[in-house]
Structure 1
């Protein structure tokens, strides 16, 4: 697993040019999600987050994990994920190939019905 540490940019508040916010949380999520084949937004003390990380590692996938509770702007990202998902139960949130897969229930349903492995292969996260 690759744990993404907060970059210098994430310590800065949202930048603005005039009245336009340059790096809003949804844009940041989109950018982070597209940086790697598998990206998990997580909270370090969440047991469901731990389970999803173990699932991917057990499959031979090396996900990039963004721990929201260790990011100075993690609360902003968490609120943006709530808006994106339309749910109050947010973590873990998984992106594969830059596309939103969803939370634990969606990932597990994909795993059970056999569509998860093809997604991982298509994203280049799994070779076999």
Structure 2
């Protein structure tokens, strides 16, 4: 269901930002995660339960994980994981994403992205 993306070694801050923005713009759902994080597992399970494909970047498995995490902090105002993006927009962490789902707002965001990609 989730696919992992490799990352390259030793990026400049601009290159890290560009790589993150490229990943976000090329995928409907992106979760920046760590393999040992229970909240990250919760976010991934949420999308799996909705049968929605997502792309995961495991920061603890990536050579540039801490640099990506620093860049994500600049982009989103937070350093914690998961950092969840849907349709190019930061939606929050696991509890924020769960709340959106419970309010019925998460799936429409995913569908918007899927429709945009097909056209």
TM-score w.r.t. the length of structure 2 is: 0.86
For 2:84 and 2:106, the matched residues in 1 are separated by 11
Which runs of 5 or more structure 2 residues have no equivalent in the other structure?
none
TM-score w.r.t. the length of structure 1 is: 0.80
> Hey, what does 1:107 align to over in structure 2?
97
Root-mean-square deviation (CA, aligned residues, Å) is: 1.8
SS at match of 2:11: coil
Once the 2 structures are TM-superposed, how far is the Cα of residue 81 of structure 1 from its aligned partner? Answer: 1.4
Q: How does 1:29-68 map to 2 (within 5 A)?
A: 29-68=20-59
Once the 2 structures are TM-superposed, how far is the Cα of residue 105 of structure 1 from its aligned partner? Answer: 2.5
For 1:110 and 1:44, the matched residues in 2 are separated by 23
Residues 108, 22 of structure 1: CA spacing in aligned structure 2 closer, same or farther, 3 A cutoff? closer
Q: Where has structure 1 moved over 4 Å in runs of 4 or more? A: none
How many residues in Structure 1 have an aligned counterpart in Structure 2? 115
Matched, 1:82 2:88: no
> Is residue 30–residue 85 contact of structure 2 (8 Å, CA) maintained in 1?
yes
SS at match of 1:27: helix
Which runs of 5 or more structure 1 residues have no equivalent in the other structure?
16-20
